[in-house]
Amino acid sequence: MSQLCVYLPPFSSDYSGVCSCLFDLNGMVIIHDASCCSRNYVSYDEPRWFGNKRPIFCSGLREIDAILGDDDKFINKVLAACESMKPEFIALLGSPVPMIIGTDLDGIAQEMEERTGLPVFGFNTTGFRYYNVGAAEAMLKLAAFYGQKSTQPIPSTINILGLTTLDFSDNSNAADIRNLFEENGFKVLGNYMVGCSLPDIQKSAQAEVNVVVTQSGMPLAAYMEKEWGIPYVAATPLGYSGSVTVLRTVKQVCADRKSQVIHAEGLHDGEVLILGEQLIANSLRNALANIYGVKGVTVGCLFGLDKALAQDFDIDIRDERQIRDLIASGHYRKLVADPLLEVLIKDRDIAFFSLPHVAVSSKLYWHRYRTFIGAEMETFIAQIAKTPEH
Amino acid sequence: MYNTTVFESTLHYFNPRRMHKRVHIPESHRLHVAPSACGRRFSIMAYRDNNKQNLSHLFISEDDVVSGCYEDLIPDAVEELLNTLATRPRVIMIDVTCIDDLLGTDHDALLSLLTHRFPDQKFTVCHINPIAMDGKLPPMVNIQNKNYGLLDRTGKKDNAVNLVGNIAPLVRECEILEILPGLGMRVRQIQDCQTFDEFLSMAESRLNLVVTPMAQIAAEQMLEALGIPFLFAPSSYKLAEIVQVYHDIAAVLGVDKPDLSGYLAQTREKIEKTRQHLANLPIVVDSSSTRMPFSLAKALLDYGFNVKMIFDAMILNCDMPDYEWFKKNRPDIMIADAQRFDLVKMNIQLQECLCIGFDSAYTLGAKHLVELPMDEFSYGFHAIDVLMTMMNEACETTVDYKAILKESENW
């Protein structure tokens, strides 16, 4: 299938997902690239970069090093920086060129770990995959390494998984979601990954329940369930009533210890198409169905479809032409998506509802983000439901 | 080599600075062929510049790379692109990235294939490959070569001088737009061209004035392909060098030297007033404001300003004489690697200073900032005039970093 993209930008890639997750920790992160990948992250995928100086670096890879496979130069640069920066851990990230020349970042990490005595994580990111893949890998590696399981979970404690600025930007969303739970009797142990610390990650193994707020948190949720017996709830709290639903479900899962993906009843392929991050889109659909009875809502997953979260009519979006064809099919009368997707609508009778997503529109909208908890999102959901179809 | 490595090879830290724009050839369309990650910043920047309609992407997958024939995807993508675009472009500029350097794509064969399949369509392939940043053809040089490489010999010549290499259009107040017409020459630049044909008429000019070091090879190619002589005259803030450029232009054109006395006197006066106004305020110059920060720093020092620091990442060869001068004669003036990793924790208390360039200002938390986007504001005497005006204004104001952040996100 064609991968031609005429109207939309490329979405955030895997290395940005890793960097975003590691931003708040006292580690040293190195993208093994020439400069473009690092600049993509710092200038276009990280709303917190301006005003915060974090040790996330570019290796300055050059052609001769790539041709000769000179990993020593890379290693020596990292070791020299490590000496100066005194990080708590090191993360080495790949990019397209290391992928092409077969750089073994896990192997280099292992060697560097022996030389520094620090934890060193290798991420074989490639720039060919989306941010959620990188974010998932980062959360998983950190939890698996630092998590300290105790025999009994701490009652009324949760972790929030998949909370990244690539999904929620750097407005109050992350704090709002945390506060929602803390104000309703839960203590948040691990806030994966906004405002997170290594001690938080250590404690997170003792949580009673995980709340997965984006698809990128699902691999970690599955890992924690299998390894540490922590069940999860998969849903993003949205608005008032959506938040209440999530809280109620978390309490239920605390009691029955059975993981739940929150789905409204009676959903079908209908007049509303939501294109975006799967779990946020799911949660928006749930709110439309539960509050307003709008049940004909299809989710188009821009960053890959996780079957565990999907309805059977949901769509795994592979390329821009597929989106154009879907919109032009005449099947959908309302489209909810990042504002850059509006240009794909040729039929004036399709109503568009803007839901900015950093991983799509980058800095163009990251400071014009919606707040997910409370009145603004409640109003937005009402607008989608109540706008008459043409 | 365009630059000389003088700094220790370390990890790089990047400030949140703005991207440099890329010149748009009228009626052209860029097809960026790369892993999806590589094109993100170009795309977002194109939205910001209201130029996204002229940029498309062809995403290649890991499988395409492994199969070793990702270029085979391009002809079909071009066909789909031409069927999708409302207006057929006159030229499609295919951008390839770092990975292409390692895959050894045969661009001549690709161009031949494309030209055979789309006989009425012009194509060019351009490397956007920062992995070759320290090589003979870094990306900014490649882009210039490919842009001007689109020009064909027409057999005609007219009385015009091309500005070669400038990214932003020259401001109308610049004296070169008075002086050259006075010598019987008009000025051509890509930014003034409304159509591709108008752009092609740059091949008929009598002289190329290379206003950025990055366009020197492009000018050499134009000399060979089009017979246009060139003068290498990158933006300078030194009065003597500016005078010499105008004298050289006159010599090449075979006309009398222009009278520059009025411009010189006016500029000297402006410099002196600014120097007095700034008193002894420390000044920092960095490479986010000019391609040749050592040259600018030397000019300011000679004018009597209190230059304290110079930031650069890769020192261009044409800036090396001034770098060497500073090393030998002014070891008290600090020279810093603008990309070195430990900038992240740089702790120099120089807030009461005026930085020419955002990078140094952001790093030092400077109070006063002159933000020049890479010399792209003017040229010649007028460039000095503008710089002095901005320095005067900057020393009276405190930089608002939040406003800069907000402006960088506007579109």
User: What pLDDT does residue B354 have?
Assistant: 97
The reply to whether B167 falls in a domain is: no
Of B11, B97, B131, the CB nearest to A57: B11
Of B12, B62, B345, the CB nearest to A57: B12
The reply to whether B149 falls in a domain is: no
Question: Regarding predicted confidence, which is higher, A245 or B102?
Answer: A245
Q: Is B338 exposed, middle or buried (0-12, 13-18, 19+ CB in 10 A)?
A: buried
Q: Which runs of consecutive H residues, i.e. helices, occur in B203-332? A: 216-226, 239-253, 261-278, 293-303, 320-329
Chain B residues in contact with A328 (beta carbon < 8 A):
none
Closest residue, chain B, to A43 (C-alpha): B16
Yes or no, beta carbons of B99 and A96 under 8 Å apart? yes
Segment A289-312, tens digit of pLDDT = 999 999 999 999 999 999 999 999
Yes or no, beta carbons of A9 and B40 under 8 Å apart? yes
- Segment A317-343 shows an average pLDDT of 97
Segment B195-241, tens digit of pLDDT = 999 999 999 999 999 999 999 999 999 999 999 999 999 999 999 99
Yes or no, beta carbons of B34 and A96 under 8 Å apart? yes
**Are the C-beta atoms of residues B365 and B351 closer than 8 Å to each other?**
yes
- The proportion of chain A whose per-residue pLDDT surpasses 90, expressed as a percent, equals 94
Q: Is A312 exposed, middle or buried (0-12, 13-18, 19+ CB in 10 A)?
A: exposed
The reply to whether B400 falls in a domain is: yes
Strand partners, A30: A57, A92
Angle at A388 between CA A384 and CA A389, to 5 degrees: 100
Closest residue, chain A, to B136 (C-alpha): A63
With 80 as the cut, is the pLDDT of residue A33 above it? yes
**Are the C-beta atoms of residues A341 and A335 closer than 8 Å to each other?**
yes
Range of the domain at B328: 271-409
Collect all residues with Cβ–Cβ distance below 8 Å to B258 and sequence separation of at least 6: B179, B182, B183, B246, B250
Of B16, B98, B99, the CB nearest to A42: B16
Of A45, A61, A77, the CB nearest to B131: A61
Of B12, B80, B98, the CB nearest to A2: B80
User: Which tokens go with A256?
Assistant: 């029955």
Mutate to test the interface with A, among B20, B40, B62, B82 (most CBs of A within 10 A): B40
The reply to whether B126 falls in a domain is: yes
- Segment B272-278 shows an average pLDDT of 98
Closest residue, chain B, to A13 (C-alpha): B37
Mean pLDDT of chain B: 93
Question: Regarding predicted confidence, which is higher, B126 or B408?
Answer: B126
Strand partners, B3: B316
The reply to whether B130 falls in a domain is: yes
Segment A34-54, tens digit of pLDDT = 999 999 999 999 999 998 999
**Are the C-beta atoms of residues A274 and A283 closer than 8 Å to each other?**
no
Mutate to test the interface with B, among A15, A64, A84, A128 (most CBs of B within 10 A): A128
Domain boundary among B103, B138, B173: B138
Chain A residues in contact with B344 (beta carbon < 8 A):
53-55, 85
Reduced to 3 states (helix: H, G, I; strand: E, B; else coil), residue B20 is coil
**Are the C-beta atoms of residues A186 and A158 closer than 8 Å to each other?**
yes
**Are the C-beta atoms of residues B355 and B364 closer than 8 Å to each other?**
yes
User: What pLDDT does residue B303 have?
Assistant: 98
Tracing tokens 């390692």 back to the chain, one arrives at B102
Dihedral sign computed on CA atoms, order B385, B386, B392, B395: negative
Yes or no, beta carbons of B339 and A38 under 8 Å apart? no
- Measure the N-to-C terminal CA separation of chain B; round to a whole number of Å: 36
User: Which tokens go with B365?
Assistant: 């938390």
Segment A188-217, tens digit of pLDDT = 999 999 999 999 999 999 999 999 999 999
The reply to whether B296 falls in a domain is: yes
**Are the C-beta atoms of residues B210 and B144 closer than 8 Å to each other?**
no
CA distance to partner chain B, nearest, from residue A17 (Å): 12
Of B37, B132, B411, the CB nearest to A96: B37
CB neighbourhood size of B401 (10 A)? 17
Collect all residues with Cβ–Cβ distance below 8 Å to B86 and sequence separation of at least 6: none
Chain A residues in contact with B342 (beta carbon < 8 A):
81, 84-85
The reply to whether B236 falls in a domain is: no
Domain of residue B297, CATH code: 3.40.50
With 80 as the cut, is the pLDDT of residue B305 above it? yes
Question: Regarding predicted confidence, which is higher, A269 or B66?
Answer: A269
Chain B residues in contact with A7 (beta carbon < 8 A):
52
With 60 as the cut, is the pLDDT of residue A15 above it? yes
Widest CA span in chain B: 66
Chain A residues in contact with B345 (beta carbon < 8 A):
53, 85
Give B410's pLDDT tier (boundaries 50, 70, 90). Answer: confident
Reduced to 3 states (helix: H, G, I; strand: E, B; else coil), residue B106 is coil
Q: Which of A21, A63, A6, A15 lies closest to A40 in space, CA to CA? A: A15
Distance of alpha carbon B10 from alpha carbon B249, whole angstroms? 42
Specify the pTM. 0.96
- Measure the N-to-C terminal CA separation of chain A; round to a whole number of Å: 33
Yes or no, beta carbons of A367 and B76 under 8 Å apart? no
Closest residue, chain A, to B49 (C-alpha): A364
Task: Choose the weakest-confidence range: A146-155, B299-308, B315-324.
Answer: A146-155
Of B36, B98, B406, the CB nearest to A34: B98
Collect all residues with Cβ–Cβ distance below 8 Å to A274 and sequence separation of at least 6: A281, A284, A285, A297, A298, A299, A300, A335, A336, A337
What is the side-by-side order of every strand in the sheet holding A120-123?
A: A56-58, A27-31, A89-93, A120-123
Yes or no, beta carbons of B76 and A2 under 8 Å apart? yes
Domain of residue B79, CATH code: 3.40.50.1980
CA distance to partner chain A, nearest, from residue B255 (Å): 46
Segment A169-189, tens digit of pLDDT = 999 999 999 999 999 999 999
With 80 as the cut, is the pLDDT of residue B375 above it? no
Q: Which runs of consecutive H residues, i.e. helices, occur in B97-149? A: 98-103, 107-117, 139-148
Distance of alpha carbon B9 from alpha carbon B31, whole angstroms? 33
- Segment B243-271 shows an average pLDDT of 97
Q: Is B74 exposed, middle or buried (0-12, 13-18, 19+ CB in 10 A)?
A: buried
Of A61, A80, A367, the CB nearest to B409: A367
Distance of alpha carbon A217 from alpha carbon A233, whole angstroms? 11
- Segment A116-135 shows an average pLDDT of 97
Q: Which of A322, A350, A325, A348 lies closest to A336 in space, CA to CA? A: A350
Domain boundary among B105, B138, B171: B138
Segment B88-100, tens digit of pLDDT = 999 999 999 998 8
Q: Which of A371, A365, A317, A337 lies closest to A1 in space, CA to CA? A: A317
Yes or no, beta carbons of B11 and A60 under 8 Å apart? yes
- Segment B15-30 shows an average pLDDT of 86
Yes or no, beta carbons of B40 and A45 under 8 Å apart? yes
Distance of alpha carbon A95 from alpha carbon B35, whole angstroms? 10
CB neighbourhood size of A72 (10 A)? 11
Reduced to 3 states (helix: H, G, I; strand: E, B; else coil), residue A98 is helix
User: What pLDDT does residue A7 have?
Assistant: 97
Mutate to test the interface with A, among B20, B76, B98, B402 (most CBs of A within 10 A): B98
Nearest-10 crossing angle of helices A278-292, A241-256? 110
Closest residue, chain B, to A98 (C-alpha): B99
Closest residue, chain B, to A319 (C-alpha): B59
Q: Is the peptide bond before B334 cis (omega within 30 degrees of 0)?
A: no
CA B406 to chain centre: 24
The reply to whether B159 falls in a domain is: no
Yes or no, beta carbons of B56 and A42 under 8 Å apart? no
Domain boundary among B85, B117, B138: B138
The count of CB pairs under 8 A between chains A and B is 196
Q: Which of A349, A355, A314 lies closest to A334 in space, CA to CA? A: A349
Number of domains in chain B: 2
With 50 as the cut, is the pLDDT of residue A1 above it? no
Of A9, A66, A73, the CB nearest to B102: A66
* Domains of chain A with CATH codes: 14-129 (3.40.50.1980), 145-261 (3.40.50.1980), 268-386 (3.40.50.1980)
Look up residue A219 and give its DSSP letter. Answer: H
Chain B residues in contact with A38 (beta carbon < 8 A):
12, 14
Q: Which of A338, A208, A182 lies closest to A274 in space, CA to CA? A: A338
Mean pLDDT of chain A: 96
